[in-house]
Structure 1
Amino acid sequence: MSATSVVAGGLCGCLVGEIRRLPSRRWRRRWGVLRPPTNLIMRQKRESGAEFLQGNAVFLAAAAKGDSAGSGGGGGDGAEGSLTTTVEDTRIWWHHTLHTAASLYPLYVTVGGLVACINPSAFSFFVERGPASYRLALAFIMLAMGLTIELRDLFDVLMRRPLSVFFGCTAQFTIMPALGVIISKLVGLPPALSVGLILLSCCPGGTASNVVTLIAQGDVPLSVVMTVCTTLGAVICTPLLTKILAGAYVPVDAAALSTSTLQVVVIPVLLGSYVQSTFPAIVKAVVPFAPLLAVLASSLLASSVFSENVVHLIASMPSSFSRSWGLESILTSEPGLLILSVLLLHVGGFLVGYVVASICGFRERQRRAISIEVGMQNSSLGVVLATSHFSSNVVLPPALSAVIMNIMGSTLGLIWRYIRPDDGGEESLMNQNK
């Protein structure tokens, strides 16, 4: 509980800090134009060319338009110019507020997990309609992600930084699956839980990693591109790796897994991107709300699945566990082994991802992005695949990960937020190709 309170308090502090940086009229009049207040995001835009980052930093696009409008009206006098800047000021404020609210996704999941523990029936309206409700929620999240992505800008980043993207995607589908197999054997998980842990480790990076990377002052454009690429690649990699690594425990229908991944992940992303390019005027009005709606849907999905299984976790605790909270009782119970294995999986992903990126000569911002991207999985996809194609116990690792992963990731992000990345002024030969 104390760790959760620290994370919640830290995220609320970030929200207050962001609100305090909202543009004031006095500051606007002093400089003659309306400038965006988010220094961190704009610094990353200058360093990494993050013009395409509309999903997790949609405020950038609105701020840039506010600059243009402010500059165009700066030479005029009278009520029209004042009204224009007032409207732009209000629009910038709303964009920034929506962006800040979306960046608190880890806090929403943490609170949802606490509510699920205290009152599991709070999410029964959503659980009773599963697994169809789970699939629709994930498809909506991916559709919102697609609405904020321009494939042209995505390909531009891929062409300019192919080594970074390739390394991050390769690390995602090698480090985590290997850790999933090793940890399940070392901890001695039952077959069903081993399959669930391996399935989780084979999932692509989740959109929460983009938010945490932003908080951690990491390379946000790299994080977003890695998430998109691993998400699109999951239609092949996730079923194939799951069949190879978990096939020894239970029969795995790789074709069915691939079809489900295609339906709830790839098609909605591509559809959103198509709508974004075909109906730009409509999408322009909707896209500021897309990240917040996506994180709320993701929080609801994670909390609902967790509430559905928290009763099973409590029921599976031995009677001695409820009377004695000793380390031996925790580690010998099935819930204790499950919690330990999920903790080790994500800690290992964060640590190994960072170390490998450091050995390969990446800069600090890129190390943080790769570490967070590798350590944070799309647990929602794991939940949907587990509920659709496996027994009930297989869903436990992804369901538990949805809460634990976000607490761990946001804690890491808060720590890195107050440690300035020291990338230096010069780049190595390897970094010049990234």
Structure 2
Amino acid sequence: MAPLILPLRFRLLPEAAPGWLRASPAPRSGLSYPRRLPVLQCHAGPAPAPPPPPVVGIPRWNSILASAAGLYPAYVTAGAAVAVARPDAFRWFVALAPGSYTFALGLIMLAMGLTLELSEFLALLRERPISILFGCAAQYTIMPAFGTVVSRVLGLPPSLSVGLILLGCCPGGTASNVVTLVAKGDVPLSIVMTVCSTLGAVFLTPLLTKILAGAYVPVDVVKLSLSTLQVVVAPILLGSSIQSAFPSIVKFVTPFAPLLAVLTSSLLACSVFSENFARLRSTIADASYGNGSLFSGDIRVVMLSVFLLHFAGFIVGYVAAAIGGFKERQRRAISIEVGMQNSSLGVVLASAHFSSPLVALPAALSAIVMNIMGSTLGLVWQHMTPADLKNETIGMPDV
């Protein structure tokens, strides 16, 4: 997970007084003058306000922590390489599943809550109702639909089809906030969309999974809803409450929260990937996957399905926002938010509520594929400055 980046307002320091306002040495003459004369000013109105206090810069260690949190794709990719070379490296975490998975996701959501100020969230919600509603609607229509279509077109087995559909029904991932910042998109819009889609996941994720994946395996909507409520909404509300009750402590802890969430999310994704990779190589490789190689048989098809799902999210999300008449920065934010899922939630729900471990495999692969795709797209857009960047301010209401 990546940090929630809220807009900051900076004030410029006043420049030094011009030369004609400065006191000058007294002229040389026979009279005795003081060496420097005070400058007398006459004001027709009230006295001018004192200059604003100097703006304190962001501590260097805060910048280092933020930069380290932005390396999420690198952590996931490195962890995946370790999982392939030595799957038993994550055995200590896998052995405690599903409890360890649930705890890890709760910790990620708690970190999100610590960085969320309800007053700023509500203000942004009032300023951008149309774009937020449009983005959330796109999130829960485009991705679930393409999860279903891709699984059927590629002919995935039932367990993998359910996993891909469940991934498509998950809310937006918080890594999208960092990618939107890199892509010069609308960061506040991305933040509010992430929070709203995450809160809506309590009802929408189980319901859509039941509708779209119920034909493959039985789906218990009530249990899925309760799990989502426990591991997503409750930690977010707890973190926000802690922020209100202990602001000084949270102020110290907040810079560490994004990096902690990123490392925890990387551990969760790589552990599930290593679990499935080890099982695929040992128990069902001969039956379904040829020689058990990572890139052979159905594993290659699963990787392709995950790629196509996120690719559709990025492309169709951008096109839909363009058709909706949104500006370029908002199009980029909606595209990234739709294309990047909360794969950690998919892993936890799949591990806790489905008997086959293969259901969690698409979400585990998504943590790797999605972040590489999103980071690449962000870097491409970073070198393409939006035409409306100079005219559109962050706090500007929707048009």
- Same fold per TM (> 0.5)? yes
User: Contact 2:105 / 2:231 at 8 angstroms: preserved in 1?
Assistant: yes
- Per-residue Cα deviation, 1:206-239 (whole angstroms, up to 9, x for no partner): 1111111112111111111100000011000000
The within-5 A match list for 1:309-328 is 309-315=276-282, 316=284
How big is the alpha-carbon RMSD for the aligned residues of Structure 1 and Structure 2? 2.7
Q: Kindly provide the CA deviation profile for residues 184-216 of structure 1, in whole angstroms up to 9, marking residues without a partner as x.
A: 111111111111111100000011111111121
**Separation (CA, whole Å) in 2 of partners of 1:340 and 1:266:** 32
Counterpart check, 1:57 vs 2:5: yes
Q: SS where residue 255 of structure 2 aligns?
A: coil
- Is it true that 1:397 corresponds to 2:345 in the alignment? no
Alpha-carbon spacing, 1:317–1:340, altered in 2? closer, same or farther (3 Å):
farther
1:420 aligned onto 2:385: yes
Letter in 2 for 1:105: Y
Structure holding more helix per residue = 1
Q: Does structure 2 retain, via aligned residues, the 8 Å contact 1:56–1:99?
A: no
Equivalent residue in structure 2 for 1:379, among 343, 365, 370 = 343
In the alignment, structure 1 residue 133 sits paired with structure 2 residue 100? yes
Structural mapping, 1:247-396, within 5 Å: 247-315=214-282, 316=284, 333-391=297-355, 392-396=357-361
**1:238-257 alpha-carbon deviations (Å, 9 max, x no partner):** 00111111111111000000
Match of 1:31 in 2: none
1:57 aligned partner, one-letter code: I
Cα deviation code 1:289-319 (max 9, x no counterpart): 1111111111111111111111234455569
Change (3 A) 1:129 1:151: same
Tell me the amino acid that sits aligned with residue 163 of structure 2: G
Q: Which residue of 1 aligns with 2:76?
A: 109
| Residue pair 1:106, 1:208 contacting (<8 A) in 2 also | no
Q: Name the CA distance, whole Å, in 2 between partners of 1:426 and 1:227.
A: 25
Alpha carbons of structure 1 residues 324 and 118: separation in structure 2 relative to 1, 3 Å: closer
Letter in 2 for 1:185: R
Q: 1:323 to 1:182 in 2, by over 3 A?
A: closer
Q: Percent identity?
A: 61
Higher relative contact order structure (alpha carbons within 8 Å, sequence separation ≥ 6): 2
Partner residue of 1:10?
Answer: none
SS in structure 2 opposite 1:345? helix
CA-CA distance at 1:414 after TM superposition: 1.6
* Correspondence for 1:97: 64
Q: Which residue of 2 aligns with 1:183?
A: 150
In 2, Cα distance between equivalents of 1:291 and 1:56: 8
On the 8 A contact 1:169/1:229 being kept in 2, the answer is yes
How far off its partner does 1:259 sit?
A: 0.3
Gaps of 5+ in 2: 15-52
Query: How far did residue 433 of structure 1 move?
Result: 2.9
Q: Which secondary structure state, in structure 1, belongs to the residue aligned with residue 59 of structure 2?
A: helix
What is the identity, as a one-letter code, of the residue corresponding to 2:73?
Answer: P
Deviation at 1:278, TM superposition (A): 1.6
Residue 329 of structure 2 contacts residue 389 of structure 2 at CA under 8 Å; is this kept in 1?
no
- The structure that has the greater radius of gyration is 2
d(CA) in 1 for partners of 2:389 and 2:372? 31
Structure 2 counterpart of 1:206: 173
From the superposition, tell whether residues 323 and 379 of structure 1 become closer, same or farther in structure 2 (CA, over 3 Å). Answer: closer
Write out per-residue CA displacement over residues 252-278 of structure 1, whole angstroms, 9 at most, x where no aligned residue: 000000000000000000111111112
Residues in 2 aligned to 1:195 and 1:320: alpha-carbon distance in whole angstroms: 19
What is the distance in 2 between the residues matched to 1:324 and 1:92?
47
CA shift for structure 1 position 426: 6.4
Aligned 8 A contact 1:110 1:406 in 2: no
Is 1:145–2:112 an aligned residue pair? yes
Distance 1:280 1:248, change over 3 A: same
AA matched with 1:277: S
Distance 2:290 2:222 in 1: 41
Normalised by the length of structure 2, the TM-score is 0.83
C-alpha deviation, 1:56, in angstroms:
3.4
Q: 1:92: how far off?
A: 1.8
| Structure 2 residue identity aligned to 1:350 | F
Q: Tell me the TM-score normalised to structure 1 length.
A: 0.76
Distance (whole Å) between structure 1 residues aligned to residue 261 and residue 224 of structure 2:
23
Q: Is the CA contact 2:104–2:264 (under 8 Å) kept in the aligned structure 1?
A: yes
Structure 1 residue identity aligned to 2:342 = N
Cα distance in structure 1, aligned partners of 2:63 and 2:264: 20
The amino acid of 2:259's aligned partner reads: L
> Aligned partners of 2:194 and 2:293: how far apart in 1?
42
Matched, 1:165 2:113: no
State the alpha-carbon separation in 2 of the partners of residues 162 and 320 from structure 1: 48
Amino acid of the structure 2 residue aligned with 1:402:
A
Deviations 1:133-165 (A, max 9, x none): 110010000000001101111111111110111
Give the letter for the 1:216 counterpart: A
- Letter of the 1:227 partner, please give it: T
The residue identity in structure 1 corresponding to 2:194 is T
**Alignment coverage as a number of residue pairs:** 354
